[in-house]
Amino acid sequence: MGLQTDLLAQERSDNGVNPLSLRPINTLNQAKKYTLWRRIDLKEKANLPFFSKGSEITKHIIDGVRAGVLEPFSNDSLSTKITLEEFTRRLHRDFEGGGLSQDEIDAGFGSAAKEDDGWGDGGSTDTTAKKISSSQDGWGDSQVTSLATGYELLPSELYVLEIKEDWIFDSQRSRAYFDVLVVTIKIPAELSPEGIEKDLASFKYKELESYFRLNPNCLWFNEENTAKHMNYADAIEQRFFSGRIVRTSDPRNRYLDQIYKNPREALLKSQEWEYRIMEEESNLWEY
């Protein structure tokens, strides 16, 4: 219930607009609205321009957090901010096989790792850290922290984004708009201790959009014409990405695959939603 309350609170304001909206539409002019969540696989061919080597969108977002420019939240309800220390801890992954041997621990390289329990404190250890510079790890001029028990996930490993957006038919302008509200970086299931996708952090898209526009290196890579690379903000506005609908407004906050259980049926329902929003705009034009 708390999450639903948070989601509803995001849409309330004194002037009738969503405070998260980049280009808000007054509720009085919203003939119809759906809230959608899309899963974006940055390894897909259509999304690779956002994931060029050494200039991944995930790299720029992580750099923005470390520079103190972007504010990370625990999830897309945006109700809980997370500290830089917590953000860094979420990026940490233990080595396979339990980390250091006893001889290495006795030599002072680190201490034995406790059992990891997800995002809890059980996985924290008193380890020594060694800063190493790398020009070929996807971080550019930044440094990578190499811990005795593990390492930090690289931006090139974080290839899943989830976008929360509203589809709104604006009766004043007689057209539909996609309004991106929140972007979440996901830790892929194969890199999560529990074997399931987990949220690294969520971000207000309004802040991301401003950050992208002020950073000339945040470029959507145009392999067809390298003279026409595009800022991420413009590429997102023009919908130069491919993302499957994985969730819609639901009183129990369930994903489609949780509702329908069968992956094939969930995929078909996702496609039905794509057709539905196209038909909605067409039908509303007739009135």
Cβ pair 180, 165 in contact under 8 A: yes
Cβ–Cβ < 8 Å for 66, 199: no
| Distance of alpha carbon 3 from alpha carbon 81, whole angstroms | 15
**Least confident segment among 94-108, 183-197, 226-240:** 94-108
Of 59, 64, 36, nearest in space to 239 by CA: 36
Q: Considering only CA atoms, which of 195, 185, 193, 134 is closest in space to residue 157?
A: 185
pLDDT in tens, 246-278: 999 988 889 999 999 889 999 999 999 999 998
Q: What is the pLDDT of residue 194?
A: 84
The SS3 call for residue 273 is helix
3-class secondary structure for 166-180?
Answer: EEEEECCCCEEEEEE
Give the residue among 63, 257, 279, 88 at the shortest CA–CA distance from 176. 279
CA angle at 175 for the pair 173 and 181, rounded to the nearest 5°: 100
Torsion of CA 83, 188, 69, 8, to 10 degrees: -80
Q: 215 vs 123, which has greater pLDDT? A: 215
The pTM is what? 0.78
Q: What percent of the chain has pLDDT over 90?
A: 62
Distance CA 78, CA 201 (A): 10
pLDDT attached to residue 116: 43
What is the per-residue burial (b if ≥16 Cβ within 10 Å, else e) of 68-102?
A: eebebbbbbbbeeebeeeebeebbbbbeeeebbee
For the chain, which residues make up each domain, given as ranges? 2-55+158-285
> What confidence tens digit (pLDDT) does each residue in 10-42 have?
555 558 899 999 999 999 999 999 999 999 999
